[in-house]
Amino acid sequence: MSLNFALILFVLLVVTGIVWAFDRVSLRPQRTARMARAAAEFDAGRAQSVRAASGEAEVERQRQEAVDRAGKMPWWVEYSVSFFPVILFVFVLRSFVVEPFRIPSGSMMPTLQIGDLILVNKFSYGLRLPIVDKKVVPLGDPQRGDVVVFRYPVDPQVDYIKRVVGVPGDEVAYLNKRLTINGQEIPMKKVGEYFDPDRVSYAALYDENLKGVNHQILIDERRSPEIDPFGGYLNRDACEYSREGVRCKVPAGNYFVMGDNRDNSADSRYWGFVPDSNIVGKAFFVWMNFGDLKRIGRFH
C-alpha cells in the first residue's frame, strides 16, 4: 500500500509540475500581457465616463475587475500551480526524511501498541531513489535491536515492522523460547505479567538486552516452542527446524527480524529473511495514539 501511495504521489507531482512549468514559461507571460491590455483598453474606453458618473474609486474598482478577468487562470492550471509546492514538499519529506506509519497489529507489543502512529527515519540506512527504491547514498546499516519498517518479502505491497535480531553473518537460534546469537544467549529477566488485548490473555513480560539495546518482550509460556514455517524463503537452506525451534545463518545482504510479542508475531522464524533492498527505514517515534496520549515519544 505504501508503494501504491508513493506511485500516486509521484504521478501527481509529475502532472502538477509539468503544468506549473508550462504556466511559468508560457501561460503566465500571456496572462500578464492580457492584463496589461485590459487595463489600457479600460483607461482608453470606459474610464472617463465612469469617473464622471461615479468618481475615481469606482474607476479603480472596475479597472481591477477588468484586469482580474483577463488574468483568470483555467481551473486546472490554478489547482496545479497551487498544489505543486505542497505535493513537492510532501514527496521529498516522505521519500528522504521521515514517513508516517500506523501500527495495525500487536506483534510489536509491548514496545508498540495497535493504533500507534509512528515516524520512520528514511535516511538512517542511506538515501534511496523513490518508487524504484534503489539505494544511491549508503549511510549505514541496520543494527541488532533496531526497529525497522520493511516491505514484506512474501508480498512487497504490504509494510511490516519488526526488530532486527540478526545481521548478515550471524547465527541466530530461537530454541525453547530463548534467543541465542553467535552462541551467546541474550539475557532476559522476567518482570511480571502483561495483558495482551490482541489475544485477550496474559503473557509473561521480560526485560531483554539485545546486544546493548534494552527493551521488553512478551512470551506465552504455555505455547509450544515448535515453529511451523511457511513460504517466502529466498534462502530456505540457511535454516534448520526442530521441535525446540529454529536455527538460522543470516545470508549476506539480509536480516533476521522478530516481533517483541514473540508468540504472536509472523516474522523471520516463519517466512525467512528480509533483504536489505526491502528495508524502508528505522522507526523511532510515536507521534500520536488517539487512545493514549501518554504514548507519544521515542522508543527503543
pTM of the entire predicted model: 0.84
pLDDT, residue 161, reads: 97
pLDDT, residue 201, reads: 86
pLDDT, residue 204, reads: 96
Mean pLDDT computed over every residue of the chain: 92
Is residue 244 classed as helix, strand or coil in its secondary structure? coil
Give the pairing type, strands 184-185 and 178-181: antiparallel
Q: The dihedral of CA 73, 77, 79, 80: what is its sign?
A: negative
Spans of the chain, pLDDT less than 70: 1-3
Is residue 32 classed as helix, strand or coil in its secondary structure? helix
pLDDT, residue 146, reads: 97
Residues that are catalytic: 107, 162
pLDDT, residue 200, reads: 80
CA dihedral 216, 176, 274, 239 (to 10 degrees): 160
pLDDT, residue 2, reads: 58
pLDDT, residue 20, reads: 97
